[in-house]
Amino acid sequence: MELISKVLIVDDEPIARESLEALLAGEAYDLYFAGSGVEGLAKAAAVRPDAVLLDVMMPGMDGFEVCRRLRSDP
Q: What is the pLDDT of residues 25-57, one digit of tens each?
A: 888 899 999 999 999 999 999 999 999 999 999
pLDDT at res. 27? 85
In sequence order, what DSSP letters do the residues of 50-65 get, joined into one string?
A: SEEEE-S--SSS-HHH
β-partners of residue 9 are 33, 53
User: Are 28 and 3 contacting, i.e. CB atoms less than 8 angstroms apart?
Assistant: yes
Q: Does domain 5-72 have CATH number 3.20.20.60?
A: no
Q: Which residues of 11-23 are buried (b: 16+ CB within 10 A; e: fewer)?
A: bbeeeebeebeee
Q: Which residues contact 69 (CB under 8 A, 6 or more apart)?
A: 41
| Number of neighbours of residue 70 by Cβ within 10 angstroms | 17
What's the pTM?
0.90
61 pLDDT higher than 90? yes
